Structure 1
């Protein structure tokens, strides 16, 4: 193929270059004519799908010109006869480029624009005449909508408003105006022959050794190519420009082997177009992450970036794509994923995913690229897990089944415990680490991929399982618990003599059959198991799974994790898994209350309103060292991260909810004191006393006797008795 077809050219260069493989057959394009057989210009339609495509395309063009970049817009091919080029593919892009050149030329007062008059439509006379009128018209750029200025011209016929091509052109002109009206000096890079900002590959259909039979066939039925058929035709041309062998492989497998793989998962329309494109997009974006290519929404532009002739790794990338499809060919894919993963139950020699559908390949084919708001339906977590499976599939000859079960578990653990690290800008490192784990069994602490804390844990557990092979299943069972999800730092696994008992106790305690608040109270009988979040607020377990998950996972952003670990492990050791666990916990709570040591833990254990907040978060006031030195001056937060949300002083809240006093008291929701309705007096809880302030500011103090800062009398009973007497109830 001639170099002229493998080098990109710009829109205006179509009219200056000569085309032909032989010197005596070369000719110039004197006119570009959209033929009758072509469909109308569609990029200005107002459907949601077209709006998205149009805006994305124009955004790319705007960014390219403003930032002096270069972009290549895939292939344009057609027929050249007697100087007339008839586009058979690329009409939509050519028309948008025609409108962009027209706008910038007049916007910047460029005079040499005769080539624009050589672009026309033959689909309708009205479209042809509109193009002719447009190229000789300079609009009023001060108007908000240029389309209104055009429609107001004497050469614009009223009936043209019924021509869908003209209507679409007017919409696109207005959107171009919205983006480019405040720009300048763009023509120089747009029309630069040596280095045009926007270019494409033009391939005359005869030079490609093809006929237009496919195109004629598709249009003879009155229907345009479907998006998939359009993409497939362009992708075939792109591959052929890279490697004929890969091209031949693609055109065979896309209609045979790969169709067979996907056929089971076809949609309700009985075709595999959507499923193929979602999986193709997944693999292509994986390559973008690996090689730091820009990810764009347009599949045609993205395919050129990753697989086009200007990509140095195009052949490697195509082979990776093919292998990522070929690797499923000999497998029952459903059964394969079921052999690797369990759903919601622990299964030996499987990795639990906590989801009902374990077939990540099918999930990808259904959901990749779809967003529910800002949330990816096929998450980056799933992308990494599927990539781990792909690495196994592509390297099966060097990985044993025992190795893959351990390595997939490691990847699962890292994925589920690296929520801060798993984001797009780190995907390059995350993919590399995933590959190293699956293929080599190696975990790198130096790479900025997964959580370093979790990687350290995984390295430790690998050695621990080697030393304690008989307890390996016990550790895996614990890892799969829904509150742990791969992290075991909260469990002292080096206490091997008690590990199996702790495993049984943990599963019986945390199975939703025992109220979380009962577990929290029992833990408080052992010690202060709270953790300090973001340096100022303490968390205790409440009624939510997520709070306990946080407490059970190690983070450098929290303090006192070891306190939680010590309390939990002591509790698990004390539990006799042969006896009813709930009864044992309640006995521990009763015994602690009987000691009558009125520290802050006592009140949290004994009085339910002290634990009424939804977040499990507490803030101790005047506690600079964050040691709860002012133990009784505490705020209970209903929202997890801010005191601007609803919150109460829990000691006041308990008094407020007393059955005898409730009708006589009032309390707000934002750290307000407790009010006595009859007198308007305010009640405050201080570390060593209750203070009651009247409307004149006089303070009545009810002192609480203490020993080393700890109450030796129940302060709540004391205040309640005082108020009952004071109010004569």
Structure 2
């Protein structure tokens, strides 16, 4: 079963037993330094998005009163490093994990045990060691005893803490909550040797002959026994033989610094086991907790002879692919998958952790090879990519994948259906009405593309070029109608429009319709439920270009675009903005289109308190905690930066902004009209009556700011 350090510590007290050696990863010899330089950056990468599997932890569990105490027999070094990492982050981030950390202790030396206790109880914070080494700060603590300087465990821990501090000090976001979460990126498998009637005697005997039995050797022996117990005697012998020869050759290019095939093989084995498990609808927790080295789980997965055969077949077919880089490179040149590492096989066996889309893509490659349908891969991958990336959900204007364990088995069925069809991928799509794992709307988009490809082959390359744009990622929800109408001519226009500042695009779109998208509600001024709207923006291009409900807007826009086309995209957009702003001065959209400063930031999120009264706030971030300002005021400030104080005009939280001049006087909008404080209001209103006719609110504001700066109190 997969564990994190936190949940292992919550389940057991961990005592490093007397028979264990000193903490070696903190030594100062060249080998230990090399280990730290490799290991700690891996820990840092893990909390930044690259999960780390810490392999097996072996030990025995003994009851002592109400507690269960785990005595690690293999894994002491890794557990100690994880303890130090958790202590450091708990201290740095002022967390509350200290009480749990007290469940970790050493029995090897009383000095080490006491040092750990004092370390956990210490109350210094990051500011205490901003100049000195962390180890020196600890050595200078009153509780640090002189004799501890001669304890190799303690000296090793201090060396490791300095390395951890060097790597992690620059991380500004809080990392400890991630390590304490169920989705912790640093995991390991734990085996209680008592369950296998093994214990300290095994550990001592193994060390007596020079080395401990590795976790991989344990796995190999146990899986061979499992195959034998299931009646697969022939496969048991084959497994051992192929692992020593054929499969070793398969894994050899990926052995890494460890110089063994252990980890690469276990990674591919776990993946294949997960395929069998998913297709047989085994319990979800196996998949989610990656319990593919648990022999009880493997017994269920491989109890059918066909499952064992599938394991051998997959390893055989990948052994026969001579140049895997070429396979992945060529197919993805024709159908980019928008993944960092094109060679998914390499990524899988080296890291062991792949995303759900990558898992589906690798299954697609595997099944195509097994069925002798390699020629189908480019078209198949394109269609599967498009469908998979549209399994998503929108939250606050941003799309995230909605792939779940429950989706995977049906999606595997869909892949098999498309591969096993005697027809081409696009002909198959024309013939089917539904596809497991995907919505009818999503399938219908691919069916329309298939119709277009089969009836208008001249548009095929243009279609592929369009949907291969990263922002679209195969999703033509908003552009299918326009593409069918304008074909190849649409592609370069869309490419350039996606690449330029989206403020210009949004202003042109807004001439067609008030398309603002409701994100939620915020408190502003006198109202608790003010609508918060999104228009797109540089940070939310995907929303603007792929949200299905905007398809009619885009069709209308491109009709307008092609009827008003100029020599460049920017010129055409500006022409639309200049000539097609038909909104009245009393409508907010008139100002959003006319004044480019309003759509100048990458977020393009606004809170509407009372739209008709122009009580609107433009957010610099995503929530009211960010700085915000009424966009009308911002437009005035942009016209008169020397007479306005922009910093004083912008506010935070639920306060309405005001337009503040450099003289400290303020004006603001009420009921869509400019006003100011009572001491200037009389003269201000007289001037407003003279200067407000026939001009918009921004133009009025420009004149009134000039006036107000020179006004004296009534």
TM exceeding 0.5: yes
**Counterpart contact for 1:692–1:700, Cα < 8 Å:** yes
| Partner residue, 1:549 | 542
State the Cα distance separating 1:488 from its structure 2 match: 0.7
3-state SS in 1 of match to 2:244: coil
The yes-or-no answer on 1:414 pairing with 2:387 is yes
Using the TM superposition, give the Cα deviation of residue 429 of structure 1 relative to its aligned residue in structure 2, in angstroms.
3.2
* Equivalence for 1:479: 467
Residue 423 of structure 1 pairs with residue 404 of structure 2: yes
1:283 equivalent to 2:272? Answer: yes
1:527-578 Cα distance to aligned partner (Å, 9 max, x none) = 445444458433223233xx111112235xxx555324532554366546xx
1:219 deviates by 5.5
* 1:489 maps to 2:473: no
Distance 2:24 2:258 in 1: 25
**Gap change, CA 1:458 and 1:497, over 3 Å in 2:** closer
Q: State the partner residue of 1:517.
A: 503
1:662 aligns with 2:635: no
1:244 aligns with 2:249: no
Q: List aligned pairs for 1:430-449, cutoff 5 A.
A: 430-440=411-421, 449=437
What is the CA-CA distance between 1:676 and the residue it aligns to?
Answer: 4.1
CA distance in 2, matches of 1:326, 1:434: 21
Measure the CA separation in 2 of the matches of 1:275 and 1:675: 63
TM-superposed CA distance for 1:336, in Å, is 1.0
User: 2 CA distance for matches of 1:46 and 1:450?
Assistant: 52
User: Quick one: structure 1 residues 249 and 410, their matched pair in 2 at CA, closer, same or farther if it must change by over 3 Å?
Assistant: same
Secondary structure class of the residue paired with 2:407: helix
Where do residues 76-95 of structure 1 align in structure 2 (5 Å cutoff)? 95=60
TM value normalised by structure 2: 0.62
3-state SS in 2 of match to 1:672:
coil
- Residue 651 of structure 1 deviates from its aligned partner by 0.8
Shift of 1:592: 5.0
Pick one of 369, 382, 394 that aligns with 2:370.
Answer: 394
* In 1, Cα distance between equivalents of 2:106 and 2:585: 83
| Cα displacement string for residues 653-673 of structure 1 (whole angstroms, at most 9, x for unaligned residues) | 223342242249831322433
Deviations 1:89-118 (A, max 9, x none): x9956x43xx24x757x99xxxxxxxxxxx
1:674 to 645, 648, 658: 658
| Matching residue of 1:292 | 282
Is this contact kept in 1: 2:502–2:541, CA < 8 A? no
More moved, 657-666 vs 255-264: 657-666
- Structure 1 Cα separation of the partners of residues 21 and 408 of structure 2: 33
Are 2:248 and 1:259 aligned? yes
**Partners of 2:534 and 2:255 in 1: CA distance:** 48
Contact 1:685 1:691 survives alignment (8 Å) = yes
Contact (CA 8 Å) 2:665, 2:709: kept in 1 or not? no
Query: 2:493 matched to 1:505?
Result: yes
Q: 2:348 aligns with which of 364, 367, 376?
A: 364
The separation in 2 between residues aligned to 1:148 and 1:216, in whole angstroms, is 19
CA root-mean-square deviation: 4.6
Q: TM-score, normalised by structure 1?
A: 0.61
* CA distance 1:491–1:147, shift in 2 (3 Å): closer
Question: 605, 610, 617: which is aligned to 1:622?
Answer: 610
User: What's the counterpart of residue 709 of structure 2?
Assistant: 727
Q: How far apart, in 2, do the equivalents of 1:688 and 1:103 lie?
A: 74
Deviations 1:406-443 (A, max 9, x none): 22111101222223321234333333334334444677
Instruction: Report the Cα offset of residue 681 of structure 1.
Output: 5.6
Whole-angstrom CA distance in 2 between matches of 1:666 and 1:300: 57
Residue among 317, 325, 342 paired with 2:315: 325
Q: How does 1:523-602 map to 2 (within 5 A)?
A: 523-533=509-519, 536-544=531-539, 547-554=540-547, 560-568=550-558, 570-571=560-561, 574-575=564-565, 579-592=567-580, 599-602=587-590
Q: Distance in 2 between matches of 1:701 and 1:438?
A: 76
Unaligned runs of 5+ in 1: 1-38, 50-89, 108-120, 122-143, 153-161, 165-196, 204-213, 343-349, 370-377, 624-629
Structure whose CA Rg is larger: 1
TM-fit CA distance, 1:487: 0.6
Select the residue among 271, 280, 291 that pairs with 2:260: 271
Deviations 1:272-322 (A, max 9, x none): 2221122222222333333223328998874423432x6674433322222
Contact 2:286–2:297 (CA under 8 A) maintained in structure 1: no
CA deviation map 1:590-609 (0-9, x unaligned): 44579997853342233233
Deviations 1:171-194 (A, max 9, x none): xxxxxxxxxxxxxxxxxxxxxxxx
Contact 1:408–1:438 (Cα < 8 Å) also in 2: no
| 1:60-80 residue CA offsets vs partner (Å, 9 max, x unmatched) | xxxxxxxxxxxxxxxxxxxxx
State whether structure 2 residue 615 is matched by structure 1 residue 639.
no
